[in-house]
Structures are given as structure tokens and as C-alpha cells.
Amino acid sequence: MSDAAQRVIVIGAGPVGLCLALRLAQQGVAVCVVEALGEDNFLEQVPRAGTNHPATLELFDSIGLYDRLAPRGIVAPLFHYWDRHDNKLIAEFDHAHLKEDTRFPYVLQCERIKIVEEALALARAHPLIDVRLSTTFTGFVQTADRVSAHVTDPSGEPETITGAYLVSGEGARSIVRRDLGIEFEGFTYSDRTLNIEVAYDFRRHGYTERNYISDPDEWSNLFHWKGPPDRWRVHFPTAETEDPEALCRPEALQARLQRFLPTGQPFEIVGSNLYTVHQRVAQKFRVGRAILAGDSAHVNSPIGAMGMNSGVHDAFNLADKLVGILRGTLEEDALDRYERQRRHVALQHTQQQTMRNKKLLAERDPAVRARNHDELRRTAEDPVRARAFLLRSSLIESLREAEEIA
Ligand SMILES: Cc1cc2nc3c(=O)[nH]c(=O)nc-3n(C[C@H](O)[C@H](O)[C@H](O)COP(=O)(O)OP(=O)(O)OC[C@H]3O[C@@H](n4cnc5c(N)ncnc54)[C@H](O)[C@@H]3O)c2cc1C
């Protein structure tokens, strides 16, 4: 067979597309990565994911990515639940409870943009990966033995790239998913989340690197990122009726932060953005030779840091199956197992946990709030329960469960 007939075409140089490409190429499979962004704007993307769970760190390590990310991130073994209403720390969870389960008993706070920058550098250095920046995917056709992706090249000319399989790592607005007519089942929250980036050390008020803060009126998340200068992201819910421009005015951001933590001194705000949150899972993850992975297959609220992590887990699962199929050691129905395993994780783990996390932070009923907080406190204090909780929150349990699926 020619190289093109064995090649995998990956649309999107996001964390999922790049991890997939590296895992495939490192096992001898040629890959073409198509990315719409170019040299001039690839590193200009809005802030998104950044908390990398232990199982994801193990996978990053297996492709040589962890050592490039570790110096650019913050090792965070702890995370906190706070009650903003009573200004109290409810529970502190320590990933040290997972020391028998993983070589990385902590999360690495390292933003998506650093991950794609480092992964892109590795991909470009690999002789089996052809990275096409400034190239926009527009559609595809497939036959029984190949797939052809239609793209617009950097000069605006149409081009067709042929391969054995096409993987959509395009993110939530996947053209592959749309063209296959696959339903993106679920819902969109009516409120939007406001993200404010601040240069201020919140640890002096008792916070740790990752904090989930419950409040009946205005829940929030607070996360620490490595600089220079170090920054903290604070998330707040906003009503759909609020004017986006008014919400992001500097005085409005400052007033919101001062209500959150009255310091009497203006905060140094270094950025802000508003985003809409969806909870959706594609009804199918593959049709023939076209396969969905990452945000093109499932999207969820960032509370709990599961979107990119579970997408990267898709990428590794899928890569190993494609390698087996292309080498002739696995039948093509291995791709059906990929769908069964990863759809199960999306529905039963990431969707369930992220929806529960949001409900927990936003709960308004005082009796339910008190019960939830007691439960969290007791869980964090009991080593057996804390480990079980952390196995779920860090997605290790989801990977173990997926392995049991035939
Ligand atoms: C505020 C926020 C915080 C988050 N925090 C976390 C977190 O802490 N942990 C976590 O696990 N997840 C988090 N997430 C979710 C996470 O960002 C996504 O799940 C993750 O980025 C998905 O990766 P992906 O590679 O599937 O898609 P993307 O990251 O969306 O990448 C898709 C790539 O495809 C390219 N592309 C798209 N269309 C085309 C086309 N037609 N042609 C060519 N290229 C194309 C895009 O330019 C892009 O580079 C967060 C999300 C948000 C909004």
C-alpha cells in the first residue's frame, strides 16, 4: 500500500489532535495534521483548559511531552472546596492519597496554550508528521478503503489530502460531525461564565492552587497559573440577560473582584473573557473511516477540569487501535470498541461529574448546602473515602472502567 493509503489525517492541532498525531507517529504511522490557525495567530488563542490530571500526565510522559510541560506549570497536590457565604474552607483534598495508583500524585497547572505550543514543536520535529498550518478543512468523502479531506491551503487554493482514516480533533464545531449528520445530544446552560485573569497571590488568604467556591448567589472557581507574571483565573456565573460589553468593562470587573475579596486595593486585571457552557455528547463517535475525538465528540462544563483531559484520553485510546488496525493486528471493529469505551466515559463520568460539580457550587437550599458540605468534609477527612473520591475526580476510575468494556 502507498504511504497515503496508510496515513491518518487529523483535523485540528489542539491538545487532542496533537497527542493523537504524536502517539501514532511514535509507533510508525504517518500522519497529516491540518490546522486552520497559522504561525501568526496559533499562540493567540483564548485561555481555556489548564488543569492536567495524574492519568493525563502519565500519557503526556509516554510521548515525551511531560518533561517539556513540567517546567512551565505548577505542581498542585491539593485542591480546596470553600463556602463563600460563610467564608470558610470546607474541605482540602490531597492527591497524595493516590500515591499507590499513579506516578504523578498531583495535577499540573499548565495552560492549553503551553501544551499545544510544546506538542506542536514535538510534532514538527517528527519525520512521520506532516503539519499543515494555515490550512482549513472544509469537508470530506470516504469510500470502503480510503478517505479524502478537502482543505484550503495557505494561499487559498483548494487541495485534497488522502489517507486511511480521518480523525476530527476540530473541537466543538466539528465539520466532520455535522457532515456525518451525528446528533450532538445534550443541552446548553443559560448562564455564561465570566473568566477574569488577575496578577495577585490569593494564597495569602488561605487559598491553594485550585479552589472550587460554593455560594448561593455567585459561585466561583479560582486557579493559579505560572507566569511570569503569575496569574490567577477567577470564574463567575453571569445571567444571559447581562450585556457582555458591560460585564467586561474594567470598572465592572474590578467591582466584581472587590465583592469577591475586598482588599481595598485595585486588582491588577490582565485579561477577561466570557464563554458559554454546553453539556453534549455525540450520538456516535465514528462512521466508517471518519472518527470523532475530544471536543468534537463531547463537551462539558470546565468545573472539574475534565474536557481536555478526557479528550486526551480519547486520543491515546484511538491511536493504539488505529496502530493495531494499520499493522494488521486488530480488526476494524476495534473502532467500535473505542466508541463504546469513550462514549461510556463521556456519559457516565465527565457529563455526570461536571453537572454535579456545578450543582454543588450553585446550590441555594441552605439545608442541602449544609448536607453537601458535611459530606465533602467527611470524605476529605477519611483516607479511604478521599482516595475513592480522587480516583473519580482525576478520571483514573474512568480509564479503569473503560478497560473492562469489551
Ligand atoms: C474556560 C475553560 C476552561 C477549561 N478548563 C479545562 C481544564 O482545566 N481541564 C480540561 O480538561 N478541560 C478544560 N476545558 C476544556 C478544554 O479546553 C477542551 O476540552 C479542549 O481544548 C478540547 O481539545 P480539542 O483538541 O478537542 O479541541 P480544541 O482545543 O478546540 O482544538 C481544536 C483545533 O482545531 C482547529 N480547527 C477547528 N476547525 C478547523 C478546521 N475547519 N480546519 C482546520 N483546523 C480547525 C482549531 O483552530 C483548534 O486548533 C476548559 C474549557 C474552557 C472554555
- Please name every residue paired with 298 in a beta bridge, in sequence order, or none if there are none: 281
Q: Is 163 in the pocket of ligand 1 (CB under 6 A)?
A: no
Instruction: Give the mutation target among 48, 120, 235 for probing the ligand 1 site: most ligand atoms within 8 A of CB.
Output: 48
Q: Is 12 in the pocket of ligand 1 (CB under 6 A)?
A: yes
Q: What does the alpha-carbon distance between residue 304 and residue 392 come to, in Å, rounded to a whole number?
A: 11
Q: What does the alpha-carbon distance between residue 231 and residue 244 come to, in Å, rounded to a whole number?
A: 23
Instruction: Give the mutation target among 170, 175, 212 for probing the ligand 1 site: most ligand atoms within 8 A of CB.
Output: 170
- Please name every residue paired with 132 in a beta bridge, in sequence order, or none if there are none: 34
Distance 258 CA to ligand 1 centre (A): 31
What confidence tier does 320 reach under pLDDT thresholds 50, 70, 90? very high
pTM of the model as a whole: 0.97
- pLDDT digit string (tens) for 270-302? 999 999 999 999 999 999 999 999 999 999 999
Question: Which of 212, 333, 355 lies closest to 281, judged by CA?
Answer: 355
Query: First-to-last CA distance in the chain?
Result: 30
Q: Is residue 239 exposed (0-12), middle (13-18) or buried (19+ Cβ within 10 Å)?
A: exposed
Strands (E), 36-124: 51-52, 74-76, 78-83, 88-94, 107-109
Packed helices 396-403 and 383-393: angle between N→C axes, nearest 10 degrees: 70
Q: What is the CA radius of gyration of the chain?
A: 22
Q: Is residue 194 exposed (0-12), middle (13-18) or buried (19+ Cβ within 10 Å)?
A: buried
What local confidence, expressed as pLDDT, does residue 257 receive?
97
What local confidence, expressed as pLDDT, does residue 382 receive?
98
Residue located nearest, by CA, to atom 51 of ligand 1: 48
Residue located nearest, by CA, to atom 46 of ligand 1: 12
In whole numbers, what is the pLDDT of the chain averaged over residues? Answer: 96
Q: Is 309 in the pocket of ligand 1 (CB under 6 A)?
A: yes
- What average pLDDT does the segment 179-186 reach? 98
What strands, in cross-sheet order, belong to the sheet with 129-132?
129-132, 31-34, 8-11, 165-168, 290-292, 286-287
Distance 307 CA to ligand 1 centre (A): 8
Question: Three-state SS for 195?
Answer: strand
Q: Is the pLDDT of residue 1 over 70?
A: no
Q: What does the alpha-carbon distance between residue 164 and residue 146 come to, in Å, rounded to a whole number?
A: 5
Distance 35 CA to ligand 1 centre (A): 12
Residue located nearest, by CA, to atom 27 of ligand 1: 171
Residue located nearest, by CA, to atom 13 of ligand 1: 49
What local confidence, expressed as pLDDT, does residue 3 receive?
72
Distance 299 CA to ligand 1 centre (A): 9
- What average pLDDT does the segment 330-354 reach? 97
Q: Is 346 in the pocket of ligand 1 (CB under 6 A)?
A: no
CB count within 10 Å of CB 396 equals 18
- Using the 8-state DSSP alphabet, how is residue 249 labeled? S
Q: Is 394 in the pocket of ligand 1 (CB under 6 A)?
A: no
Grid coordinates belonging to 130: 506532516
Grid coordinates belonging to 110: 499548565
- Taking the CA atoms of residue 159, residue 160, residue 165 and residue 169 in that order, the dihedral angle to the nearest 10 degrees is 20
Q: Is 49 in the pocket of ligand 1 (CB under 6 A)?
A: yes
What strands, in cross-sheet order, belong to the sheet with 147-152?
136-142, 147-152, 158-163
